[in-house]
């Protein structure tokens, strides 16, 4: 189900955005479904499944705005129903205001690095990520689900080590080399040569290479629905996905599919899901876009919680890499104070096996360290010994 705005909100938002003024926030102006599923905080278990959901750019004001638009201040989102909450500090090694590459590295590898750097320490040392360590050392199945390019900064931080987040062609190669079991999102251009409509200048066709190696590849909705085993690579646009299009799978559908495929394969798994375009909405100062992406992300969180509620071996953690837009809310309007990121702390919300570890205030590197401790991944943080 895709959340939709009222015609009145669309008209008012467009008018005030064009005039540079604050956007109105009308209680109940969006249709958004919150299922009555509660995921309790449970005792830790050995080798839990881990579902880490990252709302890129999602600040606490973004959540407040979504509540208000969906039903008023008393409404609770799926994210809000998680029982354990905390606060996460987000600064990078190079600035009080992080970017997604440095924040993603902190959340994936437990180390601070400079803005723009993926999977490496400030000193330039490749770091072992949670996904890499759990796959190689603990036998975990792994997955990445996003709505931007699968080679973008946040997913890249879990599978790649590059000095610049802009090295997406190199990131695509490293992603496939890491043998991630499930990868869903956009960005097929970085897997295809220019001759085939892609962006690669080296002539490599990574999709053909994946198929030749026995991987399942889907590039449209029918192919997505037909995926029935691992490994599964689904790239549904040359660039980022569009949550308004019915011919592309939405984030909740991709999350459910990834969970089903990973669970069916047996054994523990680690799945990272990103609400990638919350950040883009903040950069564009677009309330309408923001709410659409917030609700899409909340539906993905609800899908993860529904999966975990039926079993005692799964941990769900929801957080953000940083806040985008400097969003300020008054009684009846939302105002953006910047088109960039801010230094504002973000929230963390958890339920399921070991969720109690995520209460209190913590650095983003500490969040990664707590996930490593719950999965017995040690030493962590640690240099990457290589594939």
| 133/369 Cα distance (integer angstroms) | 12
State the pLDDT confidence band at 3, using cuts at 50, 70 and 90.
low
> How high is the pLDDT of residue 25?
63
pLDDT band at 386 (very low <50, low <70, confident <90, very high): confident
CATH of the domain at 367: 3.40.720.10
Tell me how far apart the alpha carbons of residues 84 and 385 are, in angstroms, rounded to a whole number.
34
Q: Which of 315, 296, 297 is nearest to 50 (CA)?
A: 315
Q: Does residue 38 form part of some domain?
A: no
Q: Is the pLDDT of residue 313 over 60?
A: yes
Residue 381 lies in a domain: no
**Average per-residue pLDDT in the chain?**
94
**By percentage, how much of the chain surpasses pLDDT 90?**
89
**pLDDT at 19 (0 to 100):** 37
**pLDDT beyond 50 at 89:** yes
Please report, for residues 155, 157, 357, the alpha-carbon distance to residue 314 in angstroms, rounded to integers and kept in the order given. 21, 23, 14
Domain interval for residue 310: 49-374
- Confidence band for 387, pLDDT divided at 50, 70 and 90: low
Domain count, the chain: 1
Q: Establish if 354 belongs to a structural domain.
A: yes
Tell whether 249 is covered by a domain: yes
Higher pLDDT, 141 or 31: 141
Report residue 304's pLDDT band, with 50, 70 and 90 as the boundaries: very high
> Does 30 map to a domain?
no
Residue 102 forms part of a structural domain: yes
Predicted pLDDT of residue 10: 44
What is the structure's pLDDT at 298? 97
* pLDDT single digits (tens) 45-87: 999 999 999 999 999 999 999 999 998 899 999 999 999 999 9
pLDDT greater than 50 at residue 215 = yes
Catalytic residues: 100
**Is 21 a domain residue?**
no
Instruction: Give the pLDDT score at 27.
Output: 60
Domain assignment present for residue 297? The answer is yes
Residue 14 has pLDDT above 90, yes or no: no
């Amino acid at each position: 189900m895709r959340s939709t705005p009222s015609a009145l909100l669309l008209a008012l938002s467009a008018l005030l955005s064009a005039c540079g003024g604050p956007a109105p926030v009308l209680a109940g102006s969006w249709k958004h479904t919150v299922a009555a599923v509660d995921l309790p905080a449970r005792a830790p278990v050995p080798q839990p499944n881990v579902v880490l959901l990252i709302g890129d750019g999602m600040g606490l004001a973004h959540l407040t705005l979504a509540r208000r638009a969906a039903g008023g201040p008393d409404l609770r989102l799926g994210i809000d129903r998680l029982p354990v909450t905390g606060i996460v500090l987000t600064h990078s090694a190079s600035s009080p205001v992080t970017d997604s590459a440095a924040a993603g590295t902190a959340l994936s590898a437990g180390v601070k690095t400079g803005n723009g750097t993926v999977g490496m320490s400030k000193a330039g040392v490749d770091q072992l990520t949670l996904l890499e360590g759990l796959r190689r050392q603990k036998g975990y199945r792994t997955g990445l689900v996003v709505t931007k390019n699968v080679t973008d900064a946040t997913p890249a931080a879990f599978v790649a080590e590059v000095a610049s987040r802009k090295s997406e062609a190199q990131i695509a190669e490293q992603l496939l080399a890491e043998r991630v079991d499930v990868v869903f999102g956009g960005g097929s251009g970085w897997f295809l040569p220019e001759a085939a409509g892609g962006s690669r200048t080296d002539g490599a066709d990574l999709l053909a290479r994946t198929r030749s190696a026995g991987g399942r590849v889907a590039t449209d909705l029918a192919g997505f629905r037909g995926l029935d085993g691992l490994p599964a690579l689904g790239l549904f646009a040359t660039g980022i996905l569009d949550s308004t299009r019915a011919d592309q799978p939405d984030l909740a559908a991709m999350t459910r599919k990834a969970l089903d495929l990973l669970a069916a394969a047996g054994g523990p798994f680690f799945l990272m899901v990103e609400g990638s375009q919350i950040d883009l909405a903040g950069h564009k100062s677009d309330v309408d876009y923001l709410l659409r992406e917030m609700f899409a992300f909340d539906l993905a969180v609800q899908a993860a919680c529904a999966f975990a509620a039926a079993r005692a071996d799964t941990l769900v953690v929801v957080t953000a890499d940083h806040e985008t837009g400097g969003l300020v809310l008054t009684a009846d309007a939302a105002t953006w104070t910047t088109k960039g990121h801010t230094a504002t702390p973000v929230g963390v919300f958890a339920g399921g096996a070991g969720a109690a570890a995520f209460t209190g205030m913590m650095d983003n590197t500490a969040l990664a360290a707590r996930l490593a401790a719950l999965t017995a991944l040690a030493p962590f943080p640690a240099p990457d010994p290589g594939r």
